[in-house]
């Protein structure tokens, strides 16, 4: 997900890609890594560049496929299902290319939100809820997840079913499983995809998704599908590709199953008081709402945030000059779909706006430009050289880099918000 090659992201707007790239690269993004996610392969790490896969004619592939077939059959998948799924399998150099893509620049969070939470998408989501109000009401009641949250996931994941990815899932997962890089993860997803085919939910030629195997309108990876997909329309198949009842109920079941608290909000935009300790603005710093209140955190209208013992964290995605949010457990529930704070904020804000609430009140610091990968590496190296311990420089701005940046900012007499900008890099170059 996040960009410096906007065309790449726009062209391949699969949830899986957003998860792969976005979680790590979107500026200001914070990540967690604990729970299963619907559409997110594990981070890529720093494994060596893969080679382009040989064709399916190669002896290597034949041997690999024979091994996979034996394993699949051993797991109870019918040989006929396996053979049908692989009858026309293709290895895709394009998928390898996409899997290796490293964005040169990060995308600033406001730029991502401008497109993910556009007025057009808000309108479309409201229209979808209205057109299908009985269904939204029923599913929402059954799972305790608001209609607008369901519509927001649907909108962000697949633009309400318009954009679900055109890759054959078996081709995609086979390419990634055979290729060697994160092979074990994709092999296990592939075996589960075969189980789904074996259960008759979908025919292999209709099992389409993103290049990383995130499927249908919910962009579920196969393991998530197996655990959460629902046959809501009762036709005997869990069809997240074409059945809207199945799509919405499956989304709702996943969200509820990942600790969604019915009746609670995801959080609110807030004002932080002068002198706020900005090192406390990390998702890892959780305090009861009563404590944030005591520290002077207020809603934008000046009221005190509600909830005493409710655990919450302060989220800043663009430093002290950008908007601040008090986020609660339901924000983390959204992040289990995709472990990116920017993604979760997009879903939350889209839902709010569909429900008639206003968007963000405070302005983003839109004058800030994203750092290039080289600049991110340089900044990390400088922090390391100065003894601020950002971890091994990898070009990814995570909590360690932000905390190191805070230490530099504090020493330099700046507001220690950890927001990494060109101005901050300039200041380091000047040695102040
Ligand atoms: Ca169905």
Helix (H) or strand (E) holding 311: strand 311-316
Stretches in the chain below the pLDDT threshold 70: 1-36, 40-54, 102-103, 180, 432
Q: What is the whole-number distance in angstroms between the Cα of residue 244 and the centre of ligand 1? A: 9
Q: What is the whole-number distance in angstroms between the Cα of residue 81 and the centre of ligand 1? A: 20
124: left (phi over 0), alpha (psi -120 to 50) or beta: alpha
CB atoms within 10 A of CB 184: 9
Q: Which two tokens stand for residue 264?
A: 């609670």
Q: What is the whole-number distance in angstroms between the Cα of residue 208 and the centre of ligand 1? A: 17
Give the tens place of pLDDT for each residue, 48-83.
455 555 677 788 999 999 999 999 999 999 999 999
Q: What is the whole-number distance in angstroms between the Cα of residue 242 and the centre of ligand 1? A: 9
d(CA 258, CA 35): 8
Q: What is the whole-number distance in angstroms between the Cα of residue 54 and the centre of ligand 1? A: 38
Helix axes 147-158, 244-257, angle to 10 degrees: 110
Q: What is the whole-number distance in angstroms between the Cα of residue 240 and the centre of ligand 1? A: 8
Residue reference for tokens 């390898």: 96
Domain assignments of the chain as residue spans, ordered by start: 373-430
d(CA 197, CA 80): 11
Q: What is the whole-number distance in angstroms between the Cα of residue 226 and the centre of ligand 1? A: 14
CA distances in angstroms from 184 to 189, 196, 197, 326, listed in the order given: 9, 19, 20, 38
Q: What is the whole-number distance in angstroms between the Cα of residue 124 and the centre of ligand 1? A: 24
Q: What is the whole-number distance in angstroms between the Cα of residue 200 and the centre of ligand 1? A: 11
Instruction: Identify the CA nearest to 344 among candidates 11, 18, 9, 44.
Output: 18
CA distances in angstroms from 290 to 148, 311, 314, 418, listed in the order given: 28, 9, 13, 25
Q: What is the whole-number distance in angstroms between the Cα of residue 380 and the centre of ligand 1? A: 50
Q: What is the whole-number distance in angstroms between the Cα of residue 230 and the centre of ligand 1? A: 7
Q: What is the whole-number distance in angstroms between the Cα of residue 352 and the centre of ligand 1? A: 29
Q: What is the whole-number distance in angstroms between the Cα of residue 197 and the centre of ligand 1? A: 14
Q: Interior CA angle at 372 toward 103 and 381, to 5°?
A: 115
Helix ranges, 258-372 (H):
289-294, 329-335, 341-354
Q: What is the whole-number distance in angstroms between the Cα of residue 343 and the centre of ligand 1? A: 28
Q: What is the whole-number distance in angstroms between the Cα of residue 237 and the centre of ligand 1? A: 4
Beta-carbon contacts of residue 112 (< 8 Å; ≥ 6 apart): 1, 2, 3, 22, 26, 342, 346
Q: What is the whole-number distance in angstroms between the Cα of residue 310 and the centre of ligand 1? A: 37
d(CA 131, CA 141): 17
State the pLDDT at residue 8: 29
Q: What is the whole-number distance in angstroms between the Cα of residue 235 and the centre of ligand 1? A: 5
d(CA 30, CA 285): 12
State the pLDDT at residue 181: 78
Q: What is the whole-number distance in angstroms between the Cα of residue 195 and the centre of ligand 1? A: 17
Question: pTM for the full model?
Answer: 0.88
CB atoms within 10 A of CB 70: 11
Residue reference for tokens 């968007």: 359
Counting every residue, how long is the chain?
432
Helix (H) or strand (E) holding 152: helix 147-158
Q: What is the whole-number distance in angstroms between the Cα of residue 201 and the centre of ligand 1? A: 8
State the pLDDT at residue 146: 98
- Helix then strand then coil, in percent of the chain rounded to 5, is 50, 5, 45
- Which residue(s) pair with 290 in the sheet? none
Q: What is the whole-number distance in angstroms between the Cα of residue 234 and the centre of ligand 1? A: 5
State the pLDDT at residue 405: 96
d(CA 85, CA 88): 7
State the pLDDT at residue 43: 57
State the pLDDT at residue 40: 61
Q: Which two tokens stand for residue 224?
A: 């998530």
Q: What is the dihedral of CA 47, 53, 59, 64, to 10 degrees?
A: 50
Q: What is the whole-number distance in angstroms between the Cα of residue 75 and the centre of ligand 1? A: 25
């Amino acid at each position: 997900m996040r960009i410096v090659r906007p065309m790449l992201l726009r062209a391949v707007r699969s949830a899986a890609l957003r998860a792969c790239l976005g979680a790590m690269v979107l500026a200001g993004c914070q990540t967690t890594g604990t729970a299963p996610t619907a559409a997110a392969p594990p981070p890529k790490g720093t494994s060596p560049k893969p080679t382009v896969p040989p064709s399916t004619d190669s002896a290597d592939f034949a041997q690999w496929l024979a091994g996979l077939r034996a394993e699949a059959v051993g797991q109870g998948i019918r040989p006929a299902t396996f053979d049908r799924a692989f009858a026309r399998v293709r290895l895709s150099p394009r998928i390898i290319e996409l899997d290796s893509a490293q964005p040169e620049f990060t995308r600033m969070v406001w730029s991502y939100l401008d497109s993910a939470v556009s007025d057009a998408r808000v309108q479309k989501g409201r229209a979808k809820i209205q057109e299908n109000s009985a269904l939204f009401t029923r599913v929402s009641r059954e799972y305790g997840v608001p209609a607008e949250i369901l519509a927001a996931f649907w909108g962000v994941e697949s633009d309400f079913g318009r954009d679900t990815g055109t890759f054959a899932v078996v081709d995609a997962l086979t390419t990634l499983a055979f290729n060697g890089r994160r092979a074990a993860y994709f092999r296990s997803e592939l075996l589960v995809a075969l189980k789904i085919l074996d259960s008759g939910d979908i025919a292999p030629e209709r099992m389409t998704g993103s290049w990383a195997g995130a499927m249908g309108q919910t962009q579920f990876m196969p393991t998530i599908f197996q655990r959460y997909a629902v046959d809501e329309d009762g036709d005997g198949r869990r069809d997240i590709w074409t059945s809207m009842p199945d799509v919405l109920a499956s989304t709702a079941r996943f969200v509820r199953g990942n600790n969604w608290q019915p009746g609670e909000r995801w959080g609110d935009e807030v004002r932080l008081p002068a002198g706020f300790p900005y090192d406390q603005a990390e998702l890892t710093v959780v305090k009861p709402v009563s404590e944030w209140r005591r520290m002077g955190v207020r809603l934008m209208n000046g009221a005190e945030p509600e909830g005493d013992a409710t655990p919450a964290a302060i989220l800043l995605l663009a430093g002290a000059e950008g908007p601040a949010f008090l986020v609660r457990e339901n924000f983390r529930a959204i992040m289990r779909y995709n472990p990116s704070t920017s993604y979760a904020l997009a879903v939350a804000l889209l839902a709010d706006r569909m429900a008639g609430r206003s968007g963000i009140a405070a302005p983003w610091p839109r004058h800030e430009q994203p750092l290039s990968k080289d600049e991110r590496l340089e900044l990390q190296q400088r922090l390391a050289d100065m003894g601020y311990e950002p971890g091994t420089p990898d070009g990814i701005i995570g909590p360690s880099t932000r905390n190191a940046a805070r230490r530099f900012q504090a020493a330099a007499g700046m507001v220690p918000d950890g927001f990494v900008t060109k101005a901050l890099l300039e200041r380091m170059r000047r040695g102040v």
